[in-house]
Chain A
């Protein structure tokens, strides 16, 4: 048995990351004066409340530009987001997280990219995606419901007797890692440390490359140890499946196996945890919706879709393949596109009363899981986790509100959600 956890001895802890972050750039960041020509999705104003910024840009631009991150575009209408998401001829998915370093040394090239299939382009994309789809199809996912429910109950049991809780750090963030670790066949005791991975990949995007790069070393070491262990001790999980599966009589390239594992772990964790957290935050701050969902539990299914629309956590990125004029914007080869599905979800051209949360909204064609060939592979699992996590939470707590003595903190970057959610539940 490989002692995989030992690699985390080198993992940066929160304090170190904070130090690096502050030393690296937060302090020397230029404040944004006009998001239309200088957007920055890690700007404190955007992180705190992006929606008024997006509404303003949608009216004024509607595709904003920045010279930060080496030049990038930010479409804000549903129509433009959808057009780019469905245009794999002019836009590549090779890099899907906007960082200062577009092409880190050693990054696998197109059409596979570093985390197939999310970073892959056609026609390779379809091959990589097809491998993962059966495991995340409704039938196998629905079979996980009892396990997910038990996991939620276990973490709620630990809070019994408390008058105040942090529904982010003490509930929401435990659920997805527990589920995904089991699917990949990673030791459940490593769950805590998965959060460090996610933090490095998704939150620390505006670090200088020479600082961000080494933060990945412990992640890579961890995956190497897991792969080695699964090769020696094959078992019924996604890691063993990826190591053994054959396409046209050939096993997958090692970087494909590793990339898909990274994708499943990273994309399966703080995305769903953000959705659970935002939903609980909403209910804590909107008493009428909380009461309604408690009184009418049959609304849960439509409520989940409205939580997904209104608080869609995930923004993806693309790169412009070659110089291309898109709707009057002179896009250059390798410019970033920040593909704002959450902004598309607030477009009044598509949604009636787009800026209002309507808990029983029946017509809801939201794009929270993306549009086109890169639709979130884990959407069935995410929906199930969100629904079950809310159902179990509401069984324990029918009345709760924000605890005014501590602050709600929101994650920066491309996955939006509350990290700390201090609640009064007593």
Chain B
């Protein structure tokens, strides 16, 4: 299970890294980035899904 952010879609709305700060962080422009390679635990998957359902730009993708 892996999560990723499409950098072309992300506009730096900032929801992902405030909801799931262990999975997402931000770059120096404030855009969301996935920490490490985005591999998810079961608990991580739940949080990643919550972040995904709060992203206004639909920029988060999860491979299950």
Q: Which residues of A contact B (CB under 8 A)?
A: 130, 133-134, 136-139, 301, 305, 362-367, 369, 371-373, 375, 379-380, 383
Assess whether B41 is interfacial by the CB under 8 Å rule: no
**1/0 contact string of B4-37 vs chain A (CB within 8 Å):** 0000000111110110000000111110000000
Residues of B40-64 at the interface with A, using a CB-CB cut-off of 8 Å, are 50, 53-57
Cβ A138 vs Cβ B50 within 8 A: no
Binding site secondary structure of chain A: helix
Tell me which of A130, A137, A369 contacts B13 (CB under 8 A): A369
Contact A133 to B13, CB < 8 A, known contacts A365-B53, A365-B56, A371-B57: no
Cα(A367)–Cα(B54), bound, Å: 10
Cβ A367 vs Cβ B56 within 8 A: yes
Residue numbers in B under 8 Å from A373 (CB-CB): 11
Number of interface residues of B (CB under 8 A): 18
Whole-angstrom distance between the Cβ of B22 and the nearest chain A Cβ: 15
Cβ B53 vs Cβ A363 within 8 A: yes
Q: Which residues of B contact A (CB under 8 A)?
A: 11-15, 17-18, 26-30, 50, 53-57
Residue numbers in A under 8 Å from B50 (CB-CB): 362-363
Q: Which residue of A lies closest to B49 (CB)?
A: A363
Cα(A305)–Cα(B19), bound, Å: 11
Using a Cβ cutoff of 8 Å, how many contacts connect chains A and B?
Answer: 51
Contact A136 to B18, CB < 8 A, known contacts A363-B54, A367-B56, A369-B13: no
Whole-angstrom distance between the Cβ of B61 and the nearest chain A Cβ: 15
Cβ A375 vs Cβ B53 within 8 A: no
Cα(A374)–Cα(B26), bound, Å: 18
Cα(A345)–Cα(B29), bound, Å: 26
Residue numbers in B under 8 Å from A364 (CB-CB): 54
Tell me which of B11, B18, B29, B57 contacts A134 (CB under 8 A): B29
Contact A383 to B57, CB < 8 A, known contacts A134-B29, A138-B30: no
Contact A138 to B54, CB < 8 A, known contacts A133-B30, A372-B11, A380-B30: no
Cβ B56 vs Cβ A371 within 8 A: yes
Cβ A379 vs Cβ B14 within 8 A: yes
Whole-angstrom distance between the Cβ of A422 and the nearest chain B Cβ: 33
Cβ A383 vs Cβ B14 within 8 A: yes
Cβ A130 vs Cβ B29 within 8 A: yes
Cβ B54 vs Cβ A365 within 8 A: yes
Q: List 6 A-B contacts (CB under 8 A).
A: A137-B26, A138-B17, A139-B26, A365-B54, A375-B13, A379-B12
Which 7 A-B pairs have CB atoms at the shortest separation, nearest pair first?
A137-B30, A375-B11, A133-B29, A363-B53, A138-B26, A365-B56, A134-B28
Cβ A365 vs Cβ B55 within 8 A: yes
Cα(A371)–Cα(B30), bound, Å: 15
Cβ A379 vs Cβ B29 within 8 A: no
Whole-angstrom distance between the Cβ of A120 and the nearest chain B Cβ: 15
Whole-angstrom distance between the Cβ of A134 and the nearest chain B Cβ: 6
Residue numbers in B under 8 Å from A301 (CB-CB): 18
Q: Contacts A134-B29, A138-B14 known; list 7 others, CB within 8 Å.
A: A137-B30, A138-B17, A305-B15, A362-B50, A363-B50, A365-B56, A366-B56
Cβ B13 vs Cβ A379 within 8 A: yes
Cα(A138)–Cα(B12), bound, Å: 10
Residue numbers in A under 8 Å from B28 (CB-CB): 134, 137, 139
Q: Which residue of B lies closest to A136 (CB)?
A: B30
Cα(A373)–Cα(B11), bound, Å: 6
Cα(A133)–Cα(B26), bound, Å: 12
Whole-angstrom distance between the Cβ of B36 and the nearest chain A Cβ: 19
Residue numbers in A under 8 Å from B26 (CB-CB): 137-139
Cα(A379)–Cα(B13), bound, Å: 7
Residue numbers in A under 8 Å from B29 (CB-CB): 130, 133-134, 137
